[in-house]
């Protein structure tokens, strides 16, 4: 720019043009350059963010892992395609229909209760039951759950104690007939226990899917090697040393080093799961009795559960 001004003021001729034009590339070269460019090379900044988590949990895709599926007492081997926090995809099952209620055994003696939520060819989607399954006898289960409600949900226990415990007609019917025993379908509580696993100088939260006096089935985002020795911390319900017996995806089977007293569960406040399944819009008018939102599939709320437990305890004491 300074050279241009000096020449102009001195009256000297300008030898170079003010603007230099770029030489045009040959047509063939221009065509090749265009072919080399693509929109994949253009960076586009995202202006919107994801507004919700559309997947409840990470899916763990498995390779040639197998499990046992039980339906109406019939057991068959199936292939596990993947596992997530809420369920599993299986392949190779026979005679399964939408909404069938099944048991999925991943390893050891523990199993997960589930229902068939979708069917695509030879693959089936299972949704696990929400509550923590307590594997014990009916009497101990009834006593434990009543203790849980009394300790962690005293308002529910007090409200139920203010109501007439047993109506006269119901009492007479129970005495004259067989004592009423709640079946597994009737005793569906909505309680979920959680804990923390301590292993190798690290800690991770876990969800109890199944627990007995000898072991537990836990759900955890951390993968533990088979044979690992760890500590399962259930807070006020106590801590148990355990060994990893098996692991599939985010599900892990633990063997307790010493028997665990299930009555201790009453000392830890559990989370309350949703008391009802919600039908999708396209099935709102479905009259099938196999839908999981029907009454026989629904979990009892705490008030209903307390009444059922008191009725069962009374029946047991009358034996």
Which of 90-99, 271-280, 302-311 has the least mean pLDDT? 271-280
| 196: its two tokens | 């923390």
- Which CATH code of 3.40.50.10310, 3.30.200.20, 2.40.10.430, 2.30.40.10 fits the domain covering 60-128? 2.40.10.430
Q: For 127-171, what is each residue's pLDDT tens digit? A: 998 899 999 999 999 999 999 999 999 998 888 766 644 444 344
The 8-class DSSP code of residue 300 comes to P
309 has pLDDT over 60 = yes
The span from the CA of 75 to the CA of 203, in Å, is 36
The answer on pLDDT for 74 being more than 80 is yes
Residue with tokens 């537990």: 216
Alpha-carbon span 183 to 171, nearest angstrom? 19
Q: Quick one: CA dihedral 98, 132, 280, 53, positive or negative?
A: negative
The CATH superfamily holding the domain 194-267 is predicted glycosyltransferase like domains (2.40.10.220)
Which residues touch 84 (CB under 8 Å, ≥6 apart)? Answer: 55, 56, 57, 58, 59, 60, 249, 250
The rounded distance, in Å, linking the Cα atoms of 285 and 236 is 45
Mean pLDDT of 41-66: 52
β-bridge mates for residue 104, sequence order: 69, 112
pLDDT recorded at residue 29: 56
When pLDDT is averaged across residues 99-127 and rounded to a whole number, the result is 90
**3-class DSSP state for residue 217?**
strand
Average pLDDT over residues 27-48: 51
Q: How far apart are CA 144 and CA 261, in angstroms?
A: 10
Do 60-128 and 194-267 show the same overall fold? yes
Unique residue bearing structure tokens 């197998």:
66
Q: Are 102 and 233 in contact (CB under 8 A)?
A: no
For residue 51, give both structure tokens. Answer: 């507004």
The domain segmentation of the chain, as residue ranges, is 60-128, 133-190+271-317, 194-267
pLDDT at 319: 73
Please report the pLDDT score of residue 178 as a whole number: 42
Q: What's the predicted TM-score (pTM) here?
A: 0.68
Beta-strand ranges (E) seen in 121-201 are: 123-128, 133-134, 191-192, 194-199
Question: Distances from the Cα of 207 to the Cαs of 106, 139, 234, in angstroms?
Answer: 16, 25, 10
């Amino acid at each position: 720019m300074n050279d241009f001004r000096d020449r102009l003021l001195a009256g000297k001729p300008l030898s170079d043009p003010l603007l230099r034009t770029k030489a045009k590339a040959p047509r063939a070269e221009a065509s090749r350059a265009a072919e080399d460019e693509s929109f994949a090379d253009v960076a586009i900044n995202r202006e919107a963010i994801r507004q919700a988590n559309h997947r409840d949990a990470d899916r763990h895709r498995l390779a040639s892992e197998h499990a046992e599926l039980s339906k109406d007492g019939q057991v068959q081997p199936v292939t596990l395609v993947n596992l997530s926090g809420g369920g599993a995809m299986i392949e190779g099952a026979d005679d399964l229909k939408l909404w069938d209620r099944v048991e999925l055994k991943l390893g050891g003696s523990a199993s997960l209760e589930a229902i068939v939520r979708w069917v695509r060819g030879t693959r089936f989607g299972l949704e696990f039951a929400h509550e923590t399954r307590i594997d014990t006898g009916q009497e101990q289960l009834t006593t434990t759950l009543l203790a849980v409600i009394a300790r962690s949900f005293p308002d529910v226990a007090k409200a139920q104690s203010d109501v007439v415990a047993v109506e006269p007609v119901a009492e007479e019917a129970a005495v004259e007939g067989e004592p009423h025993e709640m079946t597994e379908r009737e005793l569906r509580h909505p309680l979920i226990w959680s804990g923390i696993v301590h292993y190798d100088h690290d800690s991770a939260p876990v969800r109890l899917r199944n627990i007995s006096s000898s072991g537990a089935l836990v759900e955890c985002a951390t993968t533990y090697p088979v044979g690992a020795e760890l500590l399962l911390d259930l807070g006020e319900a106590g801590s148990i040393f355990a060994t990893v017996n098996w692991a599939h995806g985010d599900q892990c089977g633990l063997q307790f080093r010493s028997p665990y007293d299930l009555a201790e569960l009453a000392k830890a406040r559990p989370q309350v799961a949703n008391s009802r399944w919600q039908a999708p819009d396209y099935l709102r008018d479905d009259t099938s009795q196999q839908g999981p939102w029907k009454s026989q599939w629904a979990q009892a709320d705490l008030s209903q559960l307390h009444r059922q437990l008191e009725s069962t305890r009374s029946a047991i004491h009358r034996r």
